[in-house]
């Protein structure tokens, strides 16, 4: 692994840049939905004494929650913040590590693609059945469900992207480089939710 | 399913999960795969993929779960403020009379920070970055300083908001709010045990304590106390909004974010860049946790289809263990697991199988959630994988063994807390039942 | 031997689930053990909003759900929550008989077969002050959780408040919500007497749970097993309606025992609510069109 150049890419430059921008863009979109959760919840709460209600505000919050979490998945993966256990693999080096990384990325690609496929299928079925939400406002369910389908599809794409990258000898970009200082280490631990 | 087949199938599922996790597969993906394996033992004709999508969607598109990203965001904002410095200055003048003096700042500070952070490592780091240098400067015993920090930092999980509580609540299908309420009194007990232990240690090791601080006039003390105002106002805002009927329990999270933003703006600690960083940091952590929750949810319904957990529960039930014996066995299992794996994995890995046993034995699921959170807290301070130890190791420059040894007494105090709560379960349950009947 | 999975969103102690368990046992006996139905209560497999969809798409063979949850999808599913249209168990049963063919048809188009329907207790108004006319509801923070309750708020001038069911007890305790329309069952489950004082037994509507099966799964059964299912379903339906009446009485007694004033609404309040009901029936007819009008005609003739 140590010989591989982390920036080495099997894709042409424009495709590489396009994919990375796609993951990042979806991540920012997820961030916007986080702010939306904040705004809706606060309006629901602060609106009550003022006599203002957001009809189906609970539904909209729930959909923003799903959108926030799923749209940012690919960006989170590429920022090396989807957690995995390092107990054993961190002790491996060179060829053994490379093989394990290929296996992990391949398993991840299969699992996530399966999930993404059925998320798309669910959204498509909602559209076909003309499913609507059950609250005060009837919203066509395929619209909020799109966020989950798109987010998972992007994650599957990012996984496949990494798999190809690692197969062709690149070093994984879903792994952060070893920590260079203490603050970084602490920040990493905090990112793991521990 | 007969007992031997049952053991085979559950062994296959849990074995695959362990193999995938140890092999470095992302936790969420590993759970999805094991859910898929478990689904093979479901009644014929079930659409596996569709069940996964339905479950993932209804799990994620959830009103009460939306408190999670907000609490994380609140922590991200506060981490960028001067709150921990102010906390130290506000608490310190009042602890001079107590044997152990400023060491108690560790415990009280972590308790207070626990109320604004859902993470144990973040709580430890935020308090340690101020108290470690201050205690060292004054000549306090390093071992007690490090140990109390490691132990008290885990209060980040027991005092609400708490990430493992949310993960457990989702996995066990209990109310997040009830979990939050249930943590309050046990947190007081743990703090009491810690502070009591610090007092005893100092009475036994009087030579190891630095001389008392110069006496401070009462007015000066009061003036220093004013430093606690922002933190106090923040905690008051969150709980006040709830009690005054401005907000439902979930909406409190939004008030918390608002309070954190106000503090950060007031302290001029927020630039556009750090603001965006805080949003994106919270979003990524939400994504990360959601993938795990989704995997855990799928695995849990997959096991539900197979009927394994219930069968396993009756099997364990056939041994006629007393409830206390069951808890003792589980405690040993979790302590061992907790040495090697992180808290979130511990919860998602075990709840599916353990919960039916617990219910069969007549334990309340909210009570068990607190038990599990305490197990996760213990896992934070046991080597080789203990995140609080990592944080303190880094911040103090000591090797991991030193920090782990310093934390050991506090590990046993947590164990004592578990015993207390097992014998008097009402300590856990009285608040959630009061706030949330039914 | 065939195995079916039947998810329900309610806890095992709920009378609907007890009835379901008995139904599953009856089917087992009547089919000579050839069809085993495993009931998964407590939303353990699927949450309430997802159960119908799960059965439609083959994630479970059968299910139980509060049918009015799906009123946005098809007005026929919401006929039992049109306020003040059917205000007693007898009327509600008639309304169900009148609407049954339309409901069966709507379900059939979705690949589902109706097995049986059973009632919840009637819906009344909980408040913490005297309410003698609809004018007294003006300005109260009123929980709006579906089209009907939101429209009632609009018509009586109450302030609609959005609060999820899970947060209801806490919202009541802290005054986020001051009044709501729900059943005596929900009142008891959320220990509503800890925060509110009055229960007006308006019997505004009687919501129903339906138990249904995936049509393909049903048709795959041998005819005699199909008969075992439909016979057991008929028995469960009869049992469910009796249970509904019985439990309602018990719930009202529990409310009273805990110091709640259980009040028969005044004539003036009844009159005001009937006016509201007429408007809401009109609303419903607009959505349901000619088919809806036919159901109402049939109902009125019964
Ligand atoms: Na906390
Ligand atoms: Na550990």
Q: Of B46, B55, B437, which has the smallest distance from its Cβ to C5's Cβ?
A: B46
Structure confidence at residue B300 (pLDDT): 80
Q: Which two tokens stand for residue A145?
A: 């469900």
Structure confidence at residue B437 (pLDDT): 57
- How many residue contacts between A and C have a Cβ separation below 8 Å? 48
Query: Which of chain A's residues have a Cβ under 8 Å away from the Cβ of C163?
Result: 58
pLDDT band at A90 (very low <50, low <70, confident <90, very high): confident
What is the arithmetic mean of pLDDT over C268-289?
91
What is the arithmetic mean of pLDDT over B122-150?
90
Kind of pairing, strands C123-127 and C159-161? unpaired
Q: Is the pLDDT of residue A6 over 70?
A: no
Q: Which of B66, B276, B343 has the most A C-beta neighbours within 10 Å, making it the best mutation to test the interface with A?
A: B66
What is the arithmetic mean of pLDDT over A176-192?
72
Q: Which segment of B65-74, B152-161, C213-222 scores lowest on mean pLDDT? A: B65-74
CB–CB contact A65 B125 (8 Å): no
What is the arithmetic mean of pLDDT over C100-117?
96
b/e for C37-65, b at 16 or more Cβ within 10 A? Answer: bbbbbebbbbbbbbbbbbbbbbbbbbbbb
CA of B156 to the centre of ligand 1 (A): 4
Structure confidence at residue B167 (pLDDT): 81
What is the arithmetic mean of pLDDT over A102-125?
96
> C99 or B160, which is more confident?
C99
Answer whether B92's CB lies under 8 Å from B360's CB: no
Q: Provide the residue ranges of all domains of chain A, joining segments of one domain with +.
A: 13-173
Q: Which residue has the tokens 């003792």?
A: B328
Structure confidence at residue B280 (pLDDT): 96
> B29 or B347, which is more confident?
B29
Q: Is the pLDDT of residue A1 over 50?
A: no
Helices B387-396 and A182-191 sit at what angle, rounded to 10 degrees?
Answer: 160
Alpha-carbon distance B37 to A45, whole Å?
A: 44
Name the residue of chain C whose CA is nearest to B48's CA: C59
CB–CB contact B22 A85 (8 Å): yes
Q: Is the pLDDT of residue B357 over 90?
A: no
Helices B176-204 and B426-435 sit at what angle, rounded to 10 degrees?
Answer: 140
| Number of domains composing chain B | 1
Alpha-carbon distance B417 to B394, whole Å?
A: 28
pLDDT band at A5 (very low <50, low <70, confident <90, very high): low
Which domain, by its residues, includes B176?
Answer: 3-435
Q: Is the pLDDT of residue B2 over 70?
A: no
Q: What is the CA radius of gyration of chain A?
A: 20
Q: What is the mean pLDDT of chain A?
A: 89
Answer whether C212's CB lies under 8 Å from C55's CB: yes
Q: Which of B17, B26, B395 has the most A C-beta neighbours within 10 Å, making it the best mutation to test the interface with A?
A: B26
Name the residue of chain B whose CA is nearest to A117's CA: B49
Alpha helices by DSSP H, chain A: 13-50, 57-71, 73-78, 94-129, 142-167, 182-191
Structure confidence at residue B163 (pLDDT): 85
Q: Of B46, B248, B437, which has the smallest distance from its Cβ to C59's Cβ?
A: B46
- Cβ burial of C275 (10 Å; 0-12, 13-18, 19+) is middle
Q: Which two tokens stand for residue C284?
A: 């419903």
The CA-atom distances, in angstroms, between A124 and each of A48, A109, A154, C152, C167 are 37, 22, 17, 35, 32
What is the arithmetic mean of pLDDT over B226-238?
89
What is the arithmetic mean of pLDDT over A144-155?
98
Alpha-carbon distance A1 to A3, whole Å?
A: 5
Q: Pick from B203, B237, B216, B270: which is nearest to B96 by CA?
A: B216
Q: What is the mean pLDDT of chain C?
A: 92
Alpha-carbon distance C256 to B244, whole Å?
A: 28
Most confident of A57-61, B170-174, B239-243, B337-341: A57-61
Name the residue of chain B whose CA is nearest to C41's CA: B304
Question: Chain A residues within 8 A (CB-CB) of chain C?
Answer: 44, 48, 51, 53-58, 125, 129-136, 138
CB–CB contact A129 C56 (8 Å): yes
Structure confidence at residue A93 (pLDDT): 85
Structure confidence at residue B1 (pLDDT): 57
Alpha-carbon distance B116 to B256, whole Å?
A: 8
Structure confidence at residue C230 (pLDDT): 97
In this structure, what are the phi and psi dihedrals at residue B381, rounded to the nearest 5 degrees?
-120, 20
Q: Is the pLDDT of residue B100 over 80?
A: yes
Which residues 174-233 in chain C show a CB within 8 A of chain B? 174-176, 189-191, 194, 217
Q: Is the pLDDT of residue C195 over 90?
A: no
Does A30 reach chain B within 8 Å, measured CB to CB? Answer: yes
pLDDT band at A4 (very low <50, low <70, confident <90, very high): very low
In B42-141, beta strands by DSSP E: none
Which residues 116-175 in chain A show a CB within 8 A of chain B? 117-119, 121-122, 125, 144-145, 148
Taking residue A174's Cβ as centre, other Cβ atoms within 10 Å add up to: 22
Q: Is the pLDDT of residue A2 over 50?
A: no
Query: Which of chain C's residues have a Cβ under 8 Å away from the Cβ of B356?
Result: none
Q: Is the pLDDT of residue C146 over 80?
A: yes
Answer whether C89's CB lies under 8 Å from C241's CB: yes
Name the residue of chain B whose CA is nearest to C43's CA: B173
**Omega before A46 within 30 of 0, i.e. cis:** no
Q: Which segment of B87-91, B92-96, B312-316 scores lowest on mean pLDDT? A: B312-316
Q: Which two tokens stand for residue B415?
A: 């164990």
Write out pLDDT tens, residues C22-46.
999 999 999 999 999 999 988 888 9
Does B337 reach chain A within 8 Å, measured CB to CB? Answer: no
Taking residue A88's Cβ as centre, other Cβ atoms within 10 Å add up to: 12
> Which pTM value belongs to this model?
0.87
Name the residue of chain C whose CA is nearest to A125's CA: C57
Q: Is the pLDDT of residue A155 over 50?
A: yes
Write out pLDDT tens, residues B49-76.
999 999 999 989 988 889 889 988 998 8
Q: How far does the CA of residue C57 sit from the closest CA of chain A (Å)?
A: 9
Query: Which of chain B's residues have a Cβ under 8 Å away from the Cβ of A135?
Result: none
What is the arithmetic mean of pLDDT over A44-52?
88
CB–CB contact B24 A107 (8 Å): no
CB–CB contact C144 A131 (8 Å): no
pLDDT band at A193 (very low <50, low <70, confident <90, very high): low
Q: How far does the CA of residue B91 sit from the closest CA of chain A (Å)?
A: 25
What is the arithmetic mean of pLDDT over B206-219?
81
């Amino acid at each position: 692994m140590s010989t591989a150049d982390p920036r080495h890419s099997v894709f042409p430059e424009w495709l590489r840049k396009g994919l990375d921008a796609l993951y990042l863009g979806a991540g920012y979109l997820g961030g916007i939905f986080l702010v939306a959760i904040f705004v809706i919840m606060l309006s629901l709460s602060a609106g009550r004494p003022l006599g203002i209600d957001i009809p189906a505000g609970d539904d909209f919050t729930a959909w923003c929650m799903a959108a926030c979490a799923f749209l940012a998945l690919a960006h989170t993966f590429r920022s090396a913040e989807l957690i995995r256990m390092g107990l054993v693999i961190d002790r491996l080096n060179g060829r053994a590590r490379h093989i394990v990384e290929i296996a992990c990325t391949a398993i991840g690609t299969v699992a996530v693609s399966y999930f993404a496929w059925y998320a798309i299928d669910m959204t498509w079925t909602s559209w076909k059945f003309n499913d609507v939400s059950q609250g005060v406002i009837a919203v066509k369910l395929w619209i909020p469900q799109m966020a989950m389908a798109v987010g998972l599809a992007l994650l599957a794409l990012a996984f496949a992207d990494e798999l190809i990258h690692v197969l062709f000898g690149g070093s994984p970009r879903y792994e952060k480089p070893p920590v260079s200082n203490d603050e970084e280490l602490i920040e990493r631990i905090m990112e793991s939710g521990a | 399913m007969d007992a031997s087949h049952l053991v085979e199938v559950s062994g296959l599922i849990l074995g695959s999960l362990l193999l995938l996790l140890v092999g470095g597969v992302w936790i969420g993906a590993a759970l999805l795969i094991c859910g898929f394996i478990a689904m093979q033992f479901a009644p014929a004709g079930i659409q596996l993929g569709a069940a996964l999508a339905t479950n993932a969607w209804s799990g994620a598109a959830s009103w009460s779960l939306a408190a999670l990203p907000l609490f994380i965001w609140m922590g991200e904002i506060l981490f960028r403020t001067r709150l921990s410095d102010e906390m130290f200055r506000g608490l310190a003048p009042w602890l001079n009379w107590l044997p152990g003096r400023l060491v108690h700042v560790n415990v009280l500070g972590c308790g207070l920070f626990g109320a604004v952070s859902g993470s144990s490592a973040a709580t430890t780091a935020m308090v340690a970055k101020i108290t470690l240098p201050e205690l060292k400067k004054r000549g306090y015993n390093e071992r007690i300083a490090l140990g109390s920090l490691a132990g008290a930092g885990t209060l980040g999980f027991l005092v609400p908001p708490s990430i493992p509580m949310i993960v457990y609540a989702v996995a066990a299908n209990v109310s997040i709010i009830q979990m939050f309420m249930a943590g309050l009194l046990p947190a007081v007990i743990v703090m009491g045990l810690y502070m009591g232990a610090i007092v005893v240690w100092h009475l036994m090791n009087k030579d190891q304590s630095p001389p008392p601080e110069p006496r401070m006039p009462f007015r000066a003390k009061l003036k220093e106390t004013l430093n606690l105002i922002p933190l106090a106002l923040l905690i008051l805002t969150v709980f006040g909004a709830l009690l005054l009927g401005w907000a439902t329990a979930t909406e409190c999270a939004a008030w918390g974010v608002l309070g954190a933003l106000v503090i950060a703006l007031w302290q001029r600690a927020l630039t556009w860049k750090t603001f965006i960083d805080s949003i994106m940091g919270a979003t990524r952590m939400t994504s990360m946790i959601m993938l795990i929750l989704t995997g855990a949810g799928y695995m849990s319904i997959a096991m539900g289809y197979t009927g394994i957990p219930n069968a396993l529960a009756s099997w364990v039930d056939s041994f006629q263990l007393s409830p206390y014996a069951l808890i003792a066995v589980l405690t040993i299992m979790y302590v061992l697991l907790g040495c090697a794996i992180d808290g979130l994995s511990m919860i998602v890995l075990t709840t599916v199988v353990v919960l039916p046993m617990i219910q069969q034995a007549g334990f309340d699921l909210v009570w068990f959630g607190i038990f599990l959170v305490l197990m996760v807290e213990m896992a934070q301070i046991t080597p080789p994988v203990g995140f609080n130890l990592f944080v303190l190791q880094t911040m103090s420059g000591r090797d991991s063994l030193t920090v782990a040894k310093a934390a050991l007494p506090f590990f046993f105090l947590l164990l004592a807390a578990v015993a207390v709560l097992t014998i008097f379960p009402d300590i856990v349950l009285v608040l959630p039942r009061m706030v949330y009947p039914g | 031997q065939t195995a079916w999975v039947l998810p329900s969103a309610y806890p095992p102690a709920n009378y609907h689930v007890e009835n379901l368990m008995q139904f599953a046992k009856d089917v087992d006996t009547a089919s000579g053990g050839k069809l085993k139905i495993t009931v998964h209560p407590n939303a353990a497999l699927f949450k309430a909003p997802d159960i119908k969809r799960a059965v439609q798409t083959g994630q479970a063979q059968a299910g139980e759900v509060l049918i009015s949850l799906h009123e946005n999808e098809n007005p026929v599913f919401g006929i039992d929550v049109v306020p003040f249209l059917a205000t007693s168990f007898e009327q509600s049963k008639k309304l169900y008989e009148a609407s049954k063919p339309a409901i069966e048809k709507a379900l059939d188009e979705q690949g589902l077969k109706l097995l049986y329907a059973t009632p919840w207790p009637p819906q009344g108004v909980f408040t913490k002050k005297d309410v003698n006319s609809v004018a007294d509801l003006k300005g109260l923070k009123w929980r709006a959780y579906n089209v009907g309750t939101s429209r009632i708020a609009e018509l009586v001038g109450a302030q609609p408040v959005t609060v999820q069911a899970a947060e209801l007890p806490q919202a009541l305790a802290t005054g986020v919500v001051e009044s709501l329309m729900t059943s005596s069952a929900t009142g008891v489950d959320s220990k509503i007497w800890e925060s509110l004082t009055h229960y007006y037994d308006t019997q505004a509507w009687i919501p129903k749970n339906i138990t249904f099966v995936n049509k393909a799964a049903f048709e795959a059964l041998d005819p005699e097993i199909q008969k075992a299912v439909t016979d057991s379903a008929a028995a469960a339906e009869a049992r469910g309606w009796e249970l509904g009446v019985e439990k309602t009485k018990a719930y009202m007694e529990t409310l009273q025992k805990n110091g709640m004033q259980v009040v028969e609404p005044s004539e003036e309040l009844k009159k005001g609510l009937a006016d509201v009901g007429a408007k809401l029936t009109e609303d419903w007819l607009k959505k349901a069109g000619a088919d809806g009008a036919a159901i109402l005609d049939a109902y009125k003739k019964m």
